[in-house]
Amino acid sequence: MTKSNPEQLSRKLKVELIFDGGSRGNPGPAYGSYRFKLGSGKARKPVRLDLGHGTNNEAEYLTLIRALKDLNAEFSRTGIDPNHVQLRVCGDSQLVIRQLQGQWKAKNLRMRNMRDEIWSLAETLGSVKYVHQARSRSVAALGH
């Protein structure tokens, strides 16, 4: 990603993406949800996902992958230049957020591959910030 000076960032489209995933049984039936907000507009309705069978961590990663693909498709549909996007990704999974920030190693091959896919999906964006948030904020935003 390209570094931007503060003046350039003030002209970027600010986008917030909140995601959450989990499984019943760990591993078990996996699910996820996400929503995003473009600029000062209204936050979109949460998207709910049935992810099949998996672990909590897999569900978190898979949900974020689907969310970023959806967001990139939205940019294409609306003509938004991804390079002018300042994305803030919020989630309550310490493991996923810290691995995406590069603070924690992704020792598990599946987790490393999903982390790398997310980095690849986000590389065309102007800037990306991964933020850990309290579980209560995810629940309030996504309704579960």
Q: How many domains does the chain have?
A: 1
CATH code, domain carrying 110: 3.30.420.10
pTM of the model: 0.91
Is residue 1 assigned to a domain? no
Tokens for 14, please give them.
């600010």
By residue range, what is the domain housing residue 76?
A: 6-142
CA–CA separation, 134 vs 31, rounded Å? 19
Q: What is the pLDDT of residues 8-37, one digit of tens each?
A: 445 789 999 999 999 999 999 999 999 999
Give the burial class of 44: count Cβ atoms within 10 A of its Cβ; 0-12 exposed, 13-18 middle, 19 or more buried. middle
129 touches 84 (CB < 8 A): no
59-88 per-position pLDDT tens digit: 999 999 999 999 999 999 999 999 999 999
